[in-house]
Every structure is written in C-alpha cells, then in structure tokens.
C-alpha cells in the first residue's frame, strides 16, 4: 500500500516537472525572446545566430517530415538550401 502511494507521488512530481519544462519550449528559445540591454560578445552573438539558424532549420525539416518536400514554398526551399550549408 505504501509503495503504491510513493509511486503515485513520484509519477505526479514527474508530470509536474515535464509540464513546467515544456512550457519554456513554446515557439522560439528564450535566447530570442529575452530582452537584454547589454551588448553581446562576438562568441555570444555567434552562438545566438547559430541557435537561431538551427531552430529555423528544425522548423523546415519538421514541415518536410509532416507534409513532404513539395509542401515547401520557393522561399522556404531557398532558405533550406542556405541553412544546410
């Protein structure tokens, strides 16, 4: 009986953890939405740009995975070609 209660509590805590973690992943990563007044260093700017490009590439690849390559517009195809370099 006690083991069942402990198991239920751990499952509940795990669900709460996953729910809160998934709330932060909606849309763009926090790096793009966070407002900062400080200037980024070259390394930080490079990493932000790389992360932004990876996010754009992931969105395009997800669309291809769901709807196929032919569902991309010409602009998206050009963007895919540029990002995949």
pLDDT at 28 over 60: no
Whole-prediction pTM value? 0.52
pLDDT band at 45 (very low <50, low <70, confident <90, very high): confident
SS (H, E, C) the chain: CHHHHHHHHHHHHHHHHHHHHHHCCCCCCHHHHCCCCCCCCHHHHHHHHHHHHHHHHHHHHHHHHHHCHHHCCHHHHHHHHHHCC
Query: Average pLDDT over the chain, rounded to whole?
Result: 77
> What pLDDT score was predicted for residue 34?
58
């Amino acid at each position: 009986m006690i083991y069942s209660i402990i198991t239920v509590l751990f499952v509940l805590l795990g669900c709460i953890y996953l729910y809160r973690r998934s709330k932060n992943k909606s849309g763009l990563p926090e790096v793009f939405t966070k407002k900062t007044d400080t200037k980024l260093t070259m390394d930080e700017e490079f990493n932000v740009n790389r992360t932004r490009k990876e996010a754009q590439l992931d969105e395009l690849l997800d669309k291809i995975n769901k709807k196929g390559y032919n569902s991309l517009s010409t602009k998206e195809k050009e963007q895919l070609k540029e990002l995949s370099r």
